[in-house]
Amino acid sequence: MSSSSSGSIEKRGETLDTIAAVLPIDRRDELAELLTDQDVETLRHLVNEGMGANTLRALTSDLAYLQAWSLATTGTSIPWPAPEASLLNFVAHHLWQPEQRDIDPQHGMPADVEQSLREQRFLRSSGPHAPDTVRRRLASWSTLTKWRGLTGAFSSPSLKSAIRLAVRATPRPRKSKSAKAVTGDVLAKMLVTCATGSLPDLRDQAILMVAFASGGRGRSEVAGLRVEQLTAEPPVPVESGSPLPSLSIHLGRTKTSGADQDEVVYLTGRPVDALNAWLAATRIKTGSIFRKIDRWGNLSQRALEPGAINQIVKSRAALAGLDPEAFSAHGLRSGYLTEAASRGIPLPEAMEQSRHRSVQQASSYYNNATRRSGRAARLIS
């Protein structure tokens, strides 16, 4: 490797470091070698434009995969703009029929390309890709093309037809993000496992209650929650008893909000108590709220990864005697709406908290709850 090439890689690595606070990157050195100077400059531009961290993370992941695939396939970086032939080749390499490969070894992704991607840890499972993954990567390719001021062939009839025919030829059963919703009764069982007062129990109790009560926040939103997003609100009076503590969570811009819209949700009562108990025990005053705890009970300065929220839901389900494979972090979101429907909370009010933008999507939970308790389901009771 020449000194100029080495210097360019080092410079890209330094640039990736400067945006790491907004765009977490675990494989910086590998990406510095894989991405071009223009790729890294595009990422920095997107950071400066204020694009959401989750979107940036997905774009970076897809860009790295596309670069690795292009290098393995053609020996060159991604073409900008992408010709139709390259896009069709990408579809053919990723949406293929296992039965056809048994007949024709050349069908699908070539063996040398597959081996190269596996060695770089871009491929882990065998078989064709999920259609949604292919569509997302093509969408990322299209987005990055537009950010360069170019136009690709992403809307060509041939590409749309190729994807449609490939998906139809290799049908996949649609899988739910969470097999079961974490409804109120399930949540109560999980919370029983958080009763020792230890740091992990205080943290997990706060995570479960905050994620659920705030409308079923996503893994990234919960993991990335910071003290600066919290605002104490006046206590909420109740008919009998002491007023309930209340606070607001400023989510900022989300994937469903407008460009200048600051999303806000509210917590009242027990979730606020659980969150305050965690903050008091850890003396966290600023920065990340939910952090890692090592095996010796020491609190880290680093925030939890989004995947850790999923593991906490599964581990608490297991401790509660439930099947951990049946639950995931997304179950908190579906569970919130299901529980709201069961308790007769109006759909618009629940959507204000969950921040759903699609009435059709949110109302499906309400329709199911109504059908379960309706007369048509109780002809024999």
pLDDT digits (tens, 9 = 90+) for 123-138: 877 778 888 888 889 9
Query: How many Cα atoms sit within 13 Å of 238 on the Cβ side?
Result: 9
**Torsion angle, CA of 363/369/370/372, rounded to 10 degrees?**
140
- The answer to which of 118-127, 132-141, 361-370 has the lowest mean pLDDT is 361-370
What is d(CA 105, CA 113) in angstroms, rounded to the nearest whole number? 13
DSSP 301-327: EEEPPHHHHHHHHHHHHHHTTS-GGG-
Sheet strand arrangement including 263-268: 230-236, 244-252, 263-268
pLDDT at 257: 46
pLDDT at 364: 65
Average pLDDT of the segment spanning 259-280: 85
Right CATH for 184-377 from 1.10.10.10, 3.40.50.300, 1.20.58.190, 1.10.443.10: 1.10.443.10
Q: Is the pLDDT of residue 358 over 80?
A: no
Q: Is the pLDDT of residue 223 over 80?
A: yes
Q: How confident is residue 207, by pLDDT bands cut at 50, 70 and 90? A: very high
Whose structure tokens read 């190729």?
162
pLDDT at 375: 57
Whose structure tokens read 């069961």?
342
Q: In this prediction, what percent of the chain has a pLDDT beyond 90?
A: 29
Cα-trace Rg, the chain: 24
Q: How confident is residue 208, by pLDDT bands cut at 50, 70 and 90? A: very high
Choose between 69 and 368: higher pLDDT. Answer: 69
Q: Is the pLDDT of residue 370 over 90?
A: no
- The answer to which of 5-14, 42-51, 286-295 has the lowest mean pLDDT is 5-14
Single-letter amino acid, residue 371? R
Do the beta carbons of residue 178 and residue 293 sit within 8 Å? no
- The answer to which of 15-24, 148-157, 192-201, 291-300 has the lowest mean pLDDT is 15-24
Neighbours of 29 (CB within 10 A): 13
Average pLDDT of the segment spanning 339-348: 79
Average pLDDT of the segment spanning 335-342: 82
What is d(CA 278, CA 203) in angstroms, rounded to the nearest whole number? 6
What is d(CA 196, CA 286) in angstroms, rounded to the nearest whole number? 26
Maximum distance among all Cα pairs of the chain, rounded to whole angstroms: 80
Query: How far is CA 25 from each of CA 32, 63, 300, rounded to the nearest angstrom?
Result: 11, 13, 19
The pTM assigned to this predicted structure is 0.58
Average pLDDT of the segment spanning 241-254: 83
What is d(CA 252, CA 263) in angstroms, rounded to the nearest whole number? 5
Q: Is the pLDDT of residue 185 over 50?
A: yes
Q: Is the pLDDT of residue 260 over 50?
A: no
Query: How far is CA 69 from each of CA 39, 60, 72, 125, 184, rounded to the nearest angstrom?
Result: 15, 14, 5, 16, 45
Choose between 64 and 376: higher pLDDT. Answer: 64
User: Which of 44-48, 174-178, 234-238 ranks highest by mean pLDDT?
Assistant: 234-238
Average pLDDT in the chain: 80
pLDDT at 193: 96
Query: How many Cα atoms sit within 13 Å of 250 on the Cβ side?
Result: 11
Q: Is the pLDDT of residue 341 over 50?
A: yes
Cis peptide preceding 81, ω within 30 of 0:
yes
Residues with Cβ within 8 Å of 116's Cβ and at least 6 positions away in sequence, in order, are: 68, 71, 72
Q: Is the pLDDT of residue 45 over 80?
A: no
pLDDT at 167: 77
Domain residue spans of the chain: 3-169, 184-377
pLDDT at 69: 93
The SS3 assignment for 377 reads helix
What is d(CA 152, CA 175) in angstroms, rounded to the nearest whole number? 32
Average pLDDT of the segment spanning 346-365: 70
pLDDT at 156: 87
Average pLDDT of the segment spanning 7-24: 54
DSSP one-letter code for 130 = P
